[in-house]
């Protein structure tokens, strides 16, 4: 891939080079990132922008003895290439290949499993504390972007690290971007540092005080002395990085993150400093590739593209994505209801809210990478009569679990959660699978949970959720819908009402969301075997359509539940609990869903095959029940 890079299998090899050769290493790493992500997809922009920083860190620090902790991990592709994974980098995010994020199972150089924002500083402080308690001596460095710095956990980590006064370094990789442009007061603060506004503000304060003192009669030399003290105070108070200094950190910067001649000496000096240090490194997201420099949002997370032209591989016409159907439906409803508002936690693009924000700029709020704040912010809106919709990935909503329980469900307020990317999400891997939302929400009082079988049902659920006078979660998968015809007029669904989409007497397939389509395929396969399978589109996990489930149990005596969520505590568990509570006996139930392990990255079809969620797996489960050999059956008649 490159003349120098081909000789680097570890940071020790990197250290053998002269400093004058490092820019070429940087260039070769960037070329490799472009070439590989153009074939596999991945997070291009952040890693491109952090390449010099990653090279400098591995050149100077004694990794893996010294700990480098990446926040989120979007910027860590260069780190992977330099730490023994260059020869496998082409397998990035592929089934059986290397992960898209740092993973301790993959390399001793990955100090922490990451992929959610805001965790690096807390982990770094923990490692530094353990080091000191055990009398050891090594460096601990957290590399965090300014987008992650909006996360409450990052601020908690800064606060505690400054108080504990451990030897720990935080490198703030400031590119003014998360996925899209950053929002909030911290973003504005960093921008003022960069524009020199601090010095301008100091001069203005000094001039105003000087003007005031000239109006005080007969002060003389006292005025001069007082002016000097005021000017010193102003300089001490209004200086770059003062916020971090007040939190207990020594602030160093800002430093141009694309100039190794500045980065290397700065980091060498920092390595000698004791206590908490914060190095403010300024980079450009997508740096080194004209297309990603020009459009950093588009090239944050890429699908396959032509590296020469930057053009993405065109997909043929197809159904709209579920996320777009949801936000289009919400926009349609919002035109007639001024109380509907949308909330995003730094994911406007990912949750398809960009067009909604353009149409309703005063009713769409990007609160930053702050899921906890987003949820309780929604509660405040709801308590004052608004109809908030929090569009948050299933895996990210986990971060706000206390707020869901304490602020939403206990208060019983009408907050709608649009749980995008529920179920298997493909190559983002175990940190992003929407595997747990049914299990973690089903146990909460007052919560309604629904999932559509197709995009038309999703638009109906959108209206149903927004109009419901309590908390609702609408879970829908990543990717495109089924291509069904959409109703012009949106009609709500009765809460808790399932849909029997196919009659059958031999076995009943109870399916949720996208599993309904797979179950219909399975029913057709069973038809060929002369087995009549009923298919129930459950729609609602909570409340269940108890009467339809009980009727199928009594008629068919054999149930297969199918969900793209964990089996433990999931929809199938809810069905078994219902039958037990109703005293329905002699019914064999097989629960198909995600197993009790984390699901690795790879294509969704391969993931479903791995988890036993293909139409063939459903067909086999039904046959095993009928033939009395259901090894995985949960039965009220004694099957294990």
Domain containing residue 354: CATH number: 3.40.50.970
CA distance 90 to 35: 9
Q: What is the pLDDT of residue 198?
A: 47
Choose the final residue of a domain: 475, 490, 515: 475
Which band of pLDDT confidence, cut at 50, 70 and 90, is reported for residue 623?
very high
Six token digits for residue 225: 């002395």
- Residues 372, 461: one domain? yes
Q: What is the pLDDT of residue 214?
A: 58
Please report whether residue 488 resides in a domain. Answer: no
- Residues 292, 424: one domain? no
Phi, psi of 467 (to 5 degrees): -90, -10
Q: What is the pLDDT of residues 330-341, one digit of tens each?
A: 999 999 999 999
- Residues 441, 461: one domain? yes
Residue 2 has pLDDT above 80, yes or no: no
* Strands 448-450, 540-542: pairing kind: antiparallel
Domain count for the chain, please give it. 4
- Residues 459, 514: one domain? no
CA distance 397 to 156: 19
Please report whether residue 489 resides in a domain. Answer: no
Please report whether residue 491 resides in a domain. Answer: no
CB atoms near residue 19 (< 10 Å)? 11
Residue 209 has pLDDT above 60, yes or no: no
Domain that holds residue 447: 322-475
Q: What is the pLDDT of residue 1?
A: 56
Which residues are tagged catalytic?
A: 285, 371, 399
Please report whether residue 218 resides in a domain. Answer: yes
Q: Please give the average per-residue pLDDT across 369-394, as a whole number.
A: 97
- Residues 168, 209: one domain? no
Angle at 615 between CA 613 and CA 621, to 5 degrees: 75
Instruction: Quickly list DSSP for 541-607.
Output: EES--HHHHHHHHHHHSEEEEEEEEESTTSHHHHHHHHHHHHT--S-EEEEEEE-SSPPPSS-HHHH
CA distance 313 to 327: 25
Choose the final residue of a domain: 424, 440, 475: 475
Confidence (pTM): 0.87
Please report whether residue 521 resides in a domain. Answer: yes
Residues forming a β-bridge with 256 = 282
* Out of 298-307, 352-361, 575-584, least confident range: 298-307
Q: Give the SS3 label for residue 174.
A: strand
- Residues 232, 285: one domain? no
Q: What is the pLDDT of residue 241?
A: 75
- Residues 407, 445: one domain? yes
Residue 231 has pLDDT above 60, yes or no: no
CA distance 447 to 438: 11
- Residues 407, 367: one domain? yes
- Residues 370, 463: one domain? yes
**Contact, 560 vs 610, CB < 8 A?**
no
- Residues 102, 174: one domain? yes
Please report whether residue 60 resides in a domain. Answer: yes
- Residues 547, 512: one domain? yes
Please report whether residue 483 resides in a domain. Answer: no
- Residue 625's domain is classified under what CATH number? 3.40.50.920
Please report whether residue 640 resides in a domain. Answer: no
Phi, psi of 589 (to 5 degrees): -130, 125
Which helix (H) or strand (E) is 244 found in, with range? helix 242-246
Q: Rounded mean pLDDT of the chain?
A: 90
CB atoms near residue 377 (< 10 Å)? 20
Q: What is the pLDDT of residues 276-314, one digit of tens each?
A: 999 999 999 999 999 999 988 888 889 899 999 999 988
Instruction: Give the CA distances from residue 340 to residues 28, 30, 385, 460, 467, in Å, rounded to whole numbers and listed in that order.
Output: 49, 44, 10, 16, 10
- Residues 417, 561: one domain? no
CA distance 29 to 81: 7
Q: What is the pLDDT of residue 242?
A: 83
Q: What is the pLDDT of residue 639?
A: 34
């Amino acid at each position: 891939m490159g003349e120098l890079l081909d000789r680097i299998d570890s940071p020790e090899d990197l250290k053998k080079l002269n400093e004058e050769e490092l820019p070429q290493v940087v260039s070769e790493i960037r070329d490799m990132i472009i070439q590989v992500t153009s074939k596999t997809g991945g997070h291009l922009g952040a890693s491109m922008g952090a390449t010099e920083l990653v090279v400098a860190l591995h050149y100077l620090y004694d990794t893996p003895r010294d700990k480098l902790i990446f926040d989120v991990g979007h910027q860590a592709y260069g780190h992977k290439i330099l730490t023994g994974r260059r020869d496998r980098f082409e397998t990035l995010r592929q089934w059986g290949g290397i992960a898209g994020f740092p993973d301790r199972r993959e390399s001793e150089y990955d100090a922490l499993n990451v992929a959610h924002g805001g965790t690096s500083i807390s982990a770094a402080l923990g490692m530094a504390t353990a080091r000191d308690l055990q009398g050891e001596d090594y460096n601990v460095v957290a590399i965090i972007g300014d987008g992650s710095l909006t996360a409450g956990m990052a601020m908690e980590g800064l606060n505690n690290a400054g108080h504990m006064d451990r030897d720990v370094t935080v490198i703030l990789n400031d590119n003014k971007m998360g996925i899209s442009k950053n929002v909030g007061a911290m973003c504005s603060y960093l921008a003022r540092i960069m524009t020199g506004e601090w010095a301008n503000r100091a001069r203005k304060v000094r001039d105003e005080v000087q003007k005031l003192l000239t109006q005080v009669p007969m002060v003389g030399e006292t005025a001069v002395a007082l002016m000097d003290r005021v000017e010193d105070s102003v300089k001490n108070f209004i200086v770059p990085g003062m916020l971090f200094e007040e939190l207990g950190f020594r602030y160093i910067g800002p430093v141009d993150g694309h100039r190794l001649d500045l980065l290397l000496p700065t980091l060498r000096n920092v390595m000698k400093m004791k206590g908490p240090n914060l190095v403010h490194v300024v980079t450009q997201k997508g740096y080194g590739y004209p297309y990603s420099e020009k459009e950093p949002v588009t090239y944050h997370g890429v699908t396959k593209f032509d590296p020469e032209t930057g053009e993405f591989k065109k997909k043929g016409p197809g159904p709209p994505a579920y996320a777009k159907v949801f936000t289009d439906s919400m926009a349609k409803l919002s035109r007639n209801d001024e109380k509907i508002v949308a909330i995003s936690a730094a994911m406007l693009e990912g949750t398809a809210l960009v067009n909604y924000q353009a149409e309703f700029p005063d009713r769409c709020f990007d609160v930053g990478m702050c899921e906890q704040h987003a949820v309780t912010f929604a509660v405040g809106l709801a308590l004052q009569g608004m109809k908030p919709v929090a569009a948050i990935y299933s895996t990210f909503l986990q971060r706000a679990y206390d707020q869901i329980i304490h602020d939403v469900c206990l208060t019983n307020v009408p907050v709608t959660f649009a749980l995008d990317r529920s179920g298997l999400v493909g190559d983002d891997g175990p940190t992003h699978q929407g595997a747990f939302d049914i299990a973690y929400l089903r146990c909460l009082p007052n919560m309604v949970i629904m999932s559509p079988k197709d995009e038309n049902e999703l638009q109906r659920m959108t209206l149903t959720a927004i109009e419901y006078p309590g908390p609702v979660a609408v879970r829908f998968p990543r990717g495109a819908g089924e291509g069904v015809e959409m109703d012009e007029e949106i009609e709500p669904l009765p809460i808790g009402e399932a849909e029997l989409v196919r009659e059958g007497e031999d076995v009943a397939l109870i399916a949720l969301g996208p599993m309904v389509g797979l179950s219909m395929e399975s029913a057709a396969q069973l038809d060929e075997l002369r087995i009549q399978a009923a298919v129930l589109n459950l729609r609602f996990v909570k409340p269940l359509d108890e009467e339809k489930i009980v009727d199928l149990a009594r008629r068919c005596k054999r149930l297969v539940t199918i969900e793209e969520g964990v089996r433990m505590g999931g929809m199938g568990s809810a069905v078994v609990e219902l039958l037990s509570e109703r005293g329905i006996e002699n019914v064999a139930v097989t629960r198909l869903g995600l197993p009790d392990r984390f699901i690795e990255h790879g294509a969704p079809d391969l993931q479903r095959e791995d988890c036993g969620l293909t139409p063939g797996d459903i067909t086999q489960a039904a046959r095993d029940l009928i033939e009395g050999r259901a090894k995985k059956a949960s039965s009220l008649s004694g099957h294990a």
